[in-house]
Amino acid sequence: MLLSAGHWSGKGSLLLEGRSLGEELLADADVEVDEGGVSVRVTLTLADNTRQLIIRVAGNEVGTYVVNVRSEFAASLIGTAKLDSEPNLGLLWNENGTLHLTFTLFSHSAGLGCRGFLREGDATYTWEMALVQKRQLMKGDNVVSLRPRR
C-alpha cells in the first residue's frame, strides 16, 4: 500500500461540473498502520470550512480492501478498493446509494497523488490533490553545524 504511517499534508482542488475554476482543498492527515489495516484521521479545509474524516482501510479475504469513512458533515461511506499495485482504485457509496465517490491513488515525484469523482444527486464534482509526507526533524545536543545558518 502506498500510504505509509506518519503525518501527511495535501493541497489540491475541488471542481463542480460545468465550472472552469475549482476551489482550493487542503488536507492534514495522520496515518496509523496496525495488524488489521490502516486508520487515517483527516482534517479537510474547503473555502474556510474545516471538516474531520476518519478512514479505516482493511484487507479482506478476496485480495481487495474494505474502506469505511466516517465524517461529521455527511453520511458514512462504505466501499471497496484495490490498493496493492498501481493503479490503486476505490469506489465508495453511502447507505441509501445517493452519493458515490471514486478515487485513484498514485505515486509521483514529491509523494502521492489522489484524484477522483464525487456524485451526489444531480451534482458531479471532480477533485485532485498532491500529498506529501512530513518528516520529523531529529534534534540532538551533540550535532554541530559546519555551515553558518542564515
pLDDT for 132: 94
Q: Give dist(CA 40, CA 107) in Å, integer.
A: 18
| Residue 26: alpha-carbon gap to chain centroid | 10
β-bridge pairing 99-108 and 88-94: antiparallel
Q: What percent of the chain has pLDDT over 70?
A: 88
Provide the number of structural domains found in the chain: 1
Give the pLDDT confidence of 95-109 residue by residue, as tens digits. Answer: 988 999 999 999 988
Q: Which residue has the higher pLDDT, 89 or 16?
A: 89
Neighbour count for residue 92 (Cβ, 10 Å):
21
- Grid coordinates standing for 105? 491513488
The domain in which residue 107 lies consists of: 6-134
- Assign 64 to helix, strand or coil: coil
What CATH number does the domain containing 66 carry? 2.40.128.20
Q: Is 140 a domain residue?
A: no
Q: Is 94 a domain residue?
A: yes
Q: Is 149 a domain residue?
A: no
Mean pLDDT, rounded, of the chain:
87
pLDDT for 87: 84
